A and B are shown apart, each in its own frame.
Chain A
Amino acid sequence: MANRPSYPGTPRWVKVFGIIVIVVVLLVVAMMLIGSGEHGPGRHAPSGDAGGQAAPSTGMADHAPPEGGRG
């Protein structure tokens, strides 16, 4: 009785692709940690002490930034 052929294994391109994805994800996480740590539209909301400028006297406070990321 012939033996059942065994699984040939994961192709090399999948392994290389996986390594690239891991490196990219680590780089993004590192950049987020090195940066201000904020990742969202909230970082664009005016802060009174930013650059020594007063907070703009506009309706920005009326616009609550949504949760989530931004680029």
Chain B
Amino acid sequence: MIMTPRLRKFALAAHLTCSVGWIGAVAGYIALDVAAATSQDAQTLRTAYLAMELIARYVIVPLALASLLTGLLMSLGTKWGLFRHYWVLISLLLTIIVTVVLLVETQTIGYFADMAADPTTSGDDLRALGSTLVHSVGGTVVLLVILALNVYKPRGMTRYGWRKQQKERKVSQP
């Protein structure tokens, strides 16, 4: 079903807000992650891990899920479709992969936060935890690739999309 122009604009605004907000929230998270990776100060580590969990659980995960949902709505409600164009299909696959990795990683971050919240955890234990930098930086790179795909919309239809297009042309030009 194709959305009305007004609804399409609203859905696009929502999708842009969630997607760009996701990247911005991850940027803030990475600042804390760098602190967790480099600091030797127990108080800094404790604060960083607790803040990382709050940002991941209450900002990044909701934005990721909302971005995925609004992206699905945008695809299905516009002429782009979900499986017609390679850039849409690849964006969808990458978003699903990043979201799944994020949800798994949130458990790890929760474990770090539990350790940090426990007053009996020593500074050595906190320093031994490390960071989640590989995943957060890797995830950001993937998000930027998705952003580039969505902005540039490189040409190229899937076999399914091409068949659909031929069918529609046949109907409109009998």
Give the residues in chain B near A62, CB-CB below 8 Å.
118
Are B90 and A17 neighbours in the complex by a CB distance under 8 Å?
yes
How many chain A residues touch B (CB < 8 A): the figure is: 26
The answer on a CB contact under 8 Å between B129 and A66 is no
Given A11-B156, A71-B105, A66 and B86 contact (CB-CB distance below 8 Å): no
Q: Which of A1-41 contact B (CB under 8 A)?
A: 4-5, 7-8, 10-11, 13-14, 17, 40-41
A-B contact count (CB 8 A): 78
In the complex the two chains form, is A63's CB within 8 Å of B156's CB?
no
CB of A70 within 8 A of CB of B135, answer: yes
Q: Tell whether, in the assembled complex, residue A66 and residue B156 are in contact, meaning their CB atoms are under 8 Å apart.
A: no
Residues of A within 8 A of B77 (CB): none
Task: Please tell me if B168 contacts chain A, counting CB pairs below 8 Å.
Answer: no
B89 closest partner in A (C-beta): A14
- Chain A binding site: helix, strand, loop or mixed by DSSP? loop
Closest B residue to A4 by beta carbon equals: B166
Q: Which residues from chain B sit less than 8 Å from chain A, CB to CB? A: 86, 90, 101, 104-105, 107-108, 110-112, 114-115, 118, 120-122, 124-125, 128-138, 154-157, 159, 162-163, 166
A-B contacts besides A56-B125, A59-B118, A65-B108, 12 pairs, CB < 8 Å: A4-B166, A5-B166, A11-B155, A14-B86, A41-B111, A44-B128, A58-B122, A59-B120, A63-B111, A63-B115, A66-B110, A69-B104
